[in-house]
Chain A
Amino acid sequence: MEGRNNGPPRLARVLLRCALDPEEFNEKSGDLEETFRYLSMNDGPWRARFWYWIQILKAAPMFMMENIYWRFMMWSNYLKTVWRNLKRNTTYSMMTIFGLAIGMCCALVLFMYVYEELTYDRYHENRDRVFRVYEVITTPTAVRKYAPIAWPLAPAVLDKYPQVEAAVRIYAFGTRLIKVNQEAFYEDRFIFAEPSLFNILTFEFLQGDPSRALERPNTLVLTKSIASKYFGDTSPLGSTITVNDQEYEITGIIEDTPRNTHLKTRIIASMKSIEDNQWMSNWHGTETYTYLKLRPDVDSQTFEQDMKRIGYDYVGELWTEWKSVHDFLLQPIDTIHLHSKLRYELETPGNLTMVLLVAGIGLLVLLVACMNYVNLATARSIVRAKEVGLRKVVGANRRELIRQFWGESFILASFTMAVSLGLLVMGLPFFNRLAGTTFDAMALLKSSSIFAVLGIIAFCGLGAGIYPSLLLSSYKPATILRGAVTKGRGGARVRKVMVIFQFVISILLAVSTLIIFQQIRYMKDQYPGFDKDQKLVIPVRGSASIRENHTQIKEEFLRHAAITGAAASSSVPGRGLSNFAIALYGEDDRKNQGMYHLYIDPDFIGEYGIEMAAGRNFEAKMSTDFSDWDKAGGFLLNEAAAKAFGIHDPLEALGRQLQTGLGGRTGPIIGVTRDFHYRGLQNAVEPLIMECFPNRFRCISLTLDTRSLKEGLTHVERIWHEKFPEVPLESFFLDADFNRQYRAEERLGRVAGTFTVMGLCVACLGLLGLASFTAAQRTKEIGIRKVLGASVPGILLLLSRHYLKSILVANAIAWPLTWWAMDLWLNRFATQMSIHIWPFLLAGAGTLLIALMTVSVQSFRAAIANPSDSLRYE
């Protein structure tokens, strides 16, 4: 051979070889080379090379066209094969598609949930330089981290640091009474904010000018849904509404805040409306949520170190004297939802573990559905074997066959995805009601969902296609066409493993669901240490007040025989409590422990059936027991609080002096109560301080006689409207309200339950498919057995035996796994039940029964078939 420089360009030749089959290549490259050599001699090698390349490039479109044309022909043939196979066995196809569709639905729903959790606050335009400031207060005994911080920080930071472009303070005041055109509403998610809010965070303005909307006092911005609730279709811009007796002008309408923000709001009023210089210059409180927007090139960590101790420029001496350290730190706005663990968050933060757990469950269900496909496809391999044989004989090589079967699973996955999207749109409202979620099928139209949809198709197509395609393409044509492939042997072991795996997951989910609900039941049934039945609670808010006249109002209510008791308090068990610092007087090292405070009247303890451990209750007759802003009448503690002060015998606590953080007042401890669960039973009882302080009373609890409930309620309503004609009556029953605290657990339980049912459905569909195929494969065998005298139950047993074995094995694997996982989950609860064996037995027996029924539907049909039918053709 000649040197490589003389021949035609190598790369071009390689390209040519790829594009053509060997014979074509032989001819064409021969022609090209002949001309190349001729040109090379006449015009020189470079011209020749150039010419060669041009020839190849000119040919390129043609090769592509040809290739695509034949690919298309082949694919349309594959498509036809898929369609025929689906049609030939409708039951099988329905089962595969339906099973996979359920799996995909689960995966899609979970994707929506996980996506929402992970994209919290990522839509803000400047999120990489917007931070929330939080405050860490370290005292000798405790470290407390607050989401709301001291008022003067924002102006101080703006004043001192040029790195800060803008700052905004938000004051969230919960619920307000709003009056529009004689109608009154309670609205929560009401916030006050400074005008810079719209510069720092992203809100979509529909009407009004974002830069000027909150500039003046007594102006506010409504979200779209609130605006249409109050004003219907008319534009509310410029109209006024009344908020707690103060008139506000509407200066803007914004789009509803998205679901994935921690700052969900409905009404934003201007901070100027409540501006108070004295109040807002207090460095010691933790009251306002503060957000900073840094300049683009500022390093946030360096800045944080700089800013951390800014409060010391103003009140450093006091803090040093109090031996407390106040640090102001930054958290990026998009990490708040999943990573922030502060006190008084605007919204209960999400939980990353929970997100991952849910994502895991979704993937498992999808996996189960994919396995189904694999199982059914390999079980049917015998049917497809002849096709494989024929294709191979006609000239298909293995690679082409793998491509075909893989393509088939892709086609099926895409088709199934279309089905599952349809199912999802129909089933989502149902799922929402079941799981207490608020997903919207329209969210699937977002671009990010397209990736999820494609991802799931790819996952199923690739994952489920790999094994069947390898298995099917491995058949030798000679063996197949001789009819020597043994019945359904292909991948029998793999199928068994997959069935076991599917049922392990189903059992795991089922047992978990049972245990979750058992635990919730258990918590609800426990006596919380107080009497929560028959209690009607009326929150007193807006312009209504019982500060001065609570005794009189209680008497009014008590006048009816159906109302057997009444008590006034600042809050009730299950609702939020104030948290103030409190100290055992004269003991420095215990200074400033944060404890929950409940303000009650003398009837509260008796009404709620709270037991005393030592000392006495407040006395209505003793005016010295009552607190006001000048003095503390006396304190009741729970046992946990006594322990927190280092007092182990409740009797020892009596008579000791306490100094409360609310007004710095001092008073004696007059009694100690037994611990009662004033918050959900998930947590241990925390220290609680009780004071008889009428100024803080905001709730009336009435004990109703259930026999005359209706009359009682009418009476309550009548009295309320007499007393507070301006304010709508709200009320709730304490037991139901208290149980709301288990909503998170209940939701988890319902989600797990839903997925259990779906997973089990999918697994059973798979089992049904498998069973029908084995039964069909063994028709003749069964016929012969029957001729030889086998009984119907005997044949049933024969056909079901190995499935039962698989399920037993699945139980054996699932039980310890579940036990371990649930033990881990239960450990988070202060009040936890012990795990019983019966949820396991129930789930085990349940799955066994369901599986048995599934299998025997098919087996029974095979077993009762007349042998003369099945053996007729031999």
Chain B
Amino acid sequence: MQLISRSEERILLTIFKLDQEAYGVRIREQIYRDTGTWWSYASIYRPLGRLTRRQYVEKAKGESTAERGGKSKYYYTVTSPGKKALLKVREAQRKIWEIVPDVALKTR
């Protein structure tokens, strides 16, 4: 099975972190808090769409609010295949990082 991409991993982790609160706006906000950049919605929806199709996340319709123009929120939760995928990608990352000693990355 293919490893998930970096952006998919980030989004998956953000959803994980937000627990029950993960919908579009919140995910984007959280990513900003963690990385310091505002991602465009397109670059969130695209990995999100892929994750949904692979059933790493589940989508559930939530309440609608006036500030959304009467449109519903859609909450995402990580499924167990999603969790497995996260484990797998962490394992891979670990293996890659393992051989790089911290001193080697020091620039000055």
Interface residues of A (CB under 8 A from B): 7, 26-35, 37-38, 54-55, 58-59, 61-62, 66
Judging by beta carbons under 8 Å apart, are A27 and B71 in contact? yes
Judging by beta carbons under 8 Å apart, are A35 and B25 in contact? yes
Give complex CA distance A58, B68 in Å.
21
Q: Determine whether B90 belongs to the interface, using a CB cutoff of 8 Å to chain A.
A: no
17 sampled A-B residue pairs with Cβ under 8 A: A27-B24, A27-B72, A27-B73, A29-B71, A30-B74, A31-B41, A32-B41, A33-B68, A33-B71, A34-B65, A34-B67, A35-B25, A55-B42, A58-B40, A59-B40, A62-B42, A62-B45
Give complex CA distance A794, B67 in Å.
79
Judging by beta carbons under 8 Å apart, are B41 and A37 in contact? no
Contacts of B73 in A (CB 8 A): 27, 30
37-79 of chain B: CB within 8 A of chain A? 40-43, 45-46, 49, 64-65, 67-69, 71-74
Give complex CA distance A35, B64 in Å.
14
> Considering only CB atoms, which chain A residue lies closest to B70 in the complex?
A30
B79 smallest CB distance to A (angstroms): 18
Judging by beta carbons under 8 Å apart, are A27 and B25 in contact? no
B10 smallest CB distance to A (angstroms): 17
Give complex CA distance A35, B68 in Å.
9
> Considering only CB atoms, which chain A residue lies closest to B27 in the complex?
A31
Judging by beta carbons under 8 Å apart, are B72 and A26 in contact? yes
Q: Determine whether B23 belongs to the interface, using a CB cutoff of 8 Å to chain A.
A: yes
Give complex CA distance A66, B69 in Å.
26
Given contacts A30-B72, A31-B23, A62-B45, 5 further A-B pairs with CB under 8 A are: A26-B72, A35-B41, A37-B67, A38-B67, A62-B42
Give complex CA distance A7, B71 in Å.
14
Contacts of B46 in A (CB 8 A): 62
Contacts of A34 in B (CB 8 A): 24-25, 65, 67-68
A418 smallest CB distance to B (angstroms): 38
Judging by beta carbons under 8 Å apart, are B40 and A29 in contact? no
> Considering only CB atoms, which chain B residue lies closest to A60 in the complex?
B42
Judging by beta carbons under 8 Å apart, are B40 and A27 in contact? no
A106 smallest CB distance to B (angstroms): 51
Which residue, of A7, A34, A58, has the highest number of chain B Cβ atoms within 10 A? A34
Judging by beta carbons under 8 Å apart, are B69 and A33 in contact? yes
> Considering only CB atoms, which chain A residue lies closest to B43 in the complex?
A58
A797 smallest CB distance to B (angstroms): 61
Which residue, of B41, B49, B64, B67, has the highest number of chain A Cβ atoms within 10 A? B41
Contacts of A33 in B (CB 8 A): 67-69, 71
Judging by beta carbons under 8 Å apart, are B45 and A28 in contact? yes
Give complex CA distance A26, B42 in Å.
15
Give complex CA distance A27, B61 in Å.
9
Judging by beta carbons under 8 Å apart, are B40 and A55 in contact? yes
Judging by beta carbons under 8 Å apart, are A59 and B45 in contact? yes
A172 smallest CB distance to B (angstroms): 73
Given contacts A27-B24, A28-B24, A31-B23, contact A54 B68 (CB under 8 A): no
Q: Choose one: B25, B42, B65, B69; the contact of A59 (CB below 8 Å).
A: B42
Q: Choose one: A26, A28, A54; the contact of B40 (CB below 8 Å).
A: A54
Which residue, of B24, B28, B42, B46, has the highest number of chain A Cβ atoms within 10 A? B42
Interface residues of B (CB under 8 A from A): 23-25, 28, 40-43, 45-46, 49, 64-65, 67-69, 71-74
Judging by beta carbons under 8 Å apart, are A29 and B69 in contact? yes
B37 smallest CB distance to A (angstroms): 13
Give complex CA distance A455, B23 in Å.
51
Pairs A-B, 6 closest by C-beta atoms = A30-B71, A31-B24, A59-B42, A30-B68, A58-B40, A27-B74
Which residue, of B46, B67, B69, has the highest number of chain A Cβ atoms within 10 A? B69
Contacts of A28 in B (CB 8 A): 24, 41, 45
Contacts of A59 in B (CB 8 A): 40-42, 45
B71 smallest CB distance to A (angstroms): 3
Contacts of B74 in A (CB 8 A): 27, 30
> Considering only CB atoms, which chain B residue lies closest to A25 in the complex?
B71
B33 smallest CB distance to A (angstroms): 15
Q: Choose one: A29, A35, A61; the contact of B28 (CB below 8 Å).
A: A35
Given contacts A59-B45, A62-B45, A62-B46, contact A30 B40 (CB under 8 A): no
Give complex CA distance A192, B24 in Å.
85
Judging by beta carbons under 8 Å apart, are A30 and B42 in contact? no
Give complex CA distance A28, B27 in Å.
13
Give complex CA distance A37, B69 in Å.
10
Give complex CA distance A66, B46 in Å.
10
Give complex CA distance A37, B43 in Å.
20
Contacts of A7 in B (CB 8 A): 69
> Considering only CB atoms, which chain B residue lies closest to A7 in the complex?
B69
A319 smallest CB distance to B (angstroms): 85
Which residue, of A35, A55, A66, has the highest number of chain B Cβ atoms within 10 A? A35
Judging by beta carbons under 8 Å apart, are B41 and A55 in contact? yes
Contacts of B23 in A (CB 8 A): 31
> Considering only CB atoms, which chain A residue lies closest to B49 in the complex?
A66
Contacts of B72 in A (CB 8 A): 26-27, 30
Give complex CA distance A799, B9 in Å.
69
> Considering only CB atoms, which chain B residue lies closest to A13 in the complex?
B69
Give complex CA distance A588, B55 in Å.
108
Give complex CA distance A62, B45 in Å.
9
Give complex CA distance A540, B47 in Å.
92
A182 smallest CB distance to B (angstroms): 84
B48 smallest CB distance to A (angstroms): 10
> Considering only CB atoms, which chain A residue lies closest to B41 in the complex?
A55
Contacts of A30 in B (CB 8 A): 24, 64, 68-69, 71-74
B88 smallest CB distance to A (angstroms): 26
Give complex CA distance A252, B83 in Å.
84
Give complex CA distance A7, B49 in Å.
26
A592 smallest CB distance to B (angstroms): 88
Give complex CA distance A66, B49 in Å.
10
Contacts of A66 in B (CB 8 A): 49
Contacts of A31 in B (CB 8 A): 23-25, 28, 41, 68
B65 smallest CB distance to A (angstroms): 8
Give complex CA distance A28, B73 in Å.
9
> Considering only CB atoms, which chain A residue lies closest to B23 in the complex?
A31
B2 smallest CB distance to A (angstroms): 17
> Considering only CB atoms, which chain B residue lies closest to A27 in the complex?
B74
Contacts of A38 in B (CB 8 A): 67
Judging by beta carbons under 8 Å apart, are A26 and B71 in contact? yes
Contacts of B25 in A (CB 8 A): 31, 34-35
Give complex CA distance A62, B41 in Å.
11
Give complex CA distance A647, B46 in Å.
100
Contacts of A32 in B (CB 8 A): 41
Contacts of A27 in B (CB 8 A): 24, 71-74
> Considering only CB atoms, which chain B residue lies closest to A35 in the complex?
B25
Give complex CA distance A55, B38 in Å.
11
Give complex CA distance A707, B24 in Å.
106
Contacts of B45 in A (CB 8 A): 28, 59, 62
A15 smallest CB distance to B (angstroms): 13
> Considering only CB atoms, which chain A residue lies closest to B46 in the complex?
A62
Give complex CA distance A845, B67 in Å.
81
Contacts of B41 in A (CB 8 A): 28, 31-32, 35, 55, 58-59
Give complex CA distance A263, B71 in Å.
76
Judging by beta carbons under 8 Å apart, are B42 and A58 in contact? yes
Give complex CA distance A379, B71 in Å.
49
A130 smallest CB distance to B (angstroms): 60
> Considering only CB atoms, which chain A residue lies closest to B68 in the complex?
A30
Give complex CA distance A31, B43 in Å.
14
Give complex CA distance A34, B67 in Å.
6
Contacts of B28 in A (CB 8 A): 31, 35
Give complex CA distance A31, B24 in Å.
6
Give complex CA distance A55, B25 in Å.
13
Give complex CA distance A58, B44 in Å.
11
Give complex CA distance A35, B43 in Å.
15
Contacts of B65 in A (CB 8 A): 34
Give complex CA distance A498, B69 in Å.
56
A34 smallest CB distance to B (angstroms): 5
Give complex CA distance A34, B68 in Å.
5
Contacts of B24 in A (CB 8 A): 27-28, 30-31, 34
Contacts of A58 in B (CB 8 A): 40-43
